[in-house]
Amino acid sequence: MGRRPSYDDNGRKKGAWSPEEDKKLRDYIVRYGHWNWRELPKFAGLARCGKSCRLRWMNYLRPNVKRGSYTEEEEDIIIKSHEELGNKWSAIAAKLPGRTDNEIKNHWHTHLRKRLHQDQSTADPGKILKQSTNEGVQSASEKRRGFAPKEVANDPDLSQAPPILESSSSSEISNLSFDCALLPGGMNSIMMEDISSSSSIPVESIVESTDDFWTQPFLADTVYFNQNDDLISSVPLVEGGFLTPYDHNLYYYDDGLDYYSFPPY
DNA sequence: AACGTGGACAACCGCGGACCG
DNA sequence: GCGGTCCGCGGTTGTCCACGT
């Protein structure tokens, strides 16, 4: 599924994500967080725009993203929330742990809306929910695929990942949360917070952005491709696999610590 | 077996809000 | 108040695949 990979005028890759790209993005964010979406692909070695990376992470790679069939309760919540909120998919998603707004939106358009329209004539809400649930337990496409989802099944990293349970929390997977803010002087700053240690370490990044955030490519000078013409890295890889913000002789990190340490200013 | 069609869903695109100088 | 940057949201599109003919 997804779109056929292609490249735009700026040399950025578009379309379906490869398992290698997924791994790079996931590994990078797990390790360093999404401190700045625009610059993240550069440091993660991805020829993607930041917006694409954000979407992929939020809708697919993010911990706790629950995939697969919808339960009766979930569909009930979606229908009721839609009556209440309309097309506020993010608000509806907030009521369904593990479900993304995009996934709910798709599910609504392909299953629930159609069914609601069909059953409005019968005017039996209980029946609507029951019918939607019966198919929601396993959709036609899932039956076809014999779910698990194709990409997850094909991706050894994803398939080996622990099952994401409704009750699990993101902190079980990563203790790091990241907030981005702007510091005076127009410089970007990174606020990395280690939940477990409650320590916050603001740091500054030298990158000043003047171009459109989402559309401007962020390829480094040196681009490496493998034999399949896939981008291996847009920056020279360093030990551990990524060029990080700290590799610009500005910061360093102590990998043995729960949080990153930086030289005093 | 070949082809057409529609379902499903990942990903793209454009817009607008929050924040800051 | 204005413009720029960053980010999130919702609508739409592109593509794959199963199924029907």
Q: CA A264, C1' B13: Å apart?
A: 42
Q: Which CATH number fits domain A6-61: 2.60.40.180, 3.40.50.720, 1.10.10.60, 2.30.42.10?
A: 1.10.10.60
Protein residue minimizing CA–C1' distance to C15: A3
Give the pLDDT of chain A (265 residues) as one tens digit per residue: 666 777 776 778 888 888 888 888 888 888 888 888 888 888 888 888 888 898 888 888 887 788 777 887 888 888 888 888 888 888 888 888 888 888 888 888 888 776 666 665 555 444 444 444 443 334 433 433 333 333 333 343 433 333 333 333 333 333 333 333 222 222 333 333 333 333 333 333 333 333 445 545 444 433 444 444 444 444 444 444 454 444 433 333 333 222 332 322 2
Q: Do domains A6-61 and A72-119 have the same CATH topology?
A: yes
- One-letter amino acid at A19 equals P
Looking at residue A120, its pLDDT comes to 59
Q: CA A256, C1' B16: Å apart?
A: 42
Q: Is the CB of A164 under 7 A from strand B?
A: no
Q: CA A265, C1' C10: Å apart?
A: 43
Q: Where are the alpha helices (DSSP H) in chain A?
A: 19-32, 40-44, 50-56, 72-85, 89-94, 101-107, 113-120, 125-137, 140-145, 150-154, 156-160, 170-173
The architecture in CATH of the region A72-119 reads Orthogonal Bundle (1.10)
Q: Which nucleotides of B are covered by protein (CB under 7 A)?
A: 7-15, 19-21
Residues 219-238 of A with CB under 7 A from strand C: none
Q: List the domain boundaries for chain A.
A: 6-61, 72-119
Dig out the tokens for A63 from the structure.
Answer: 């911990």
pTM: 0.62
Query: How far from A36 is each of A32, A49, A56, A184, A193, CA to CA, in Å?
Result: 10, 12, 15, 17, 14
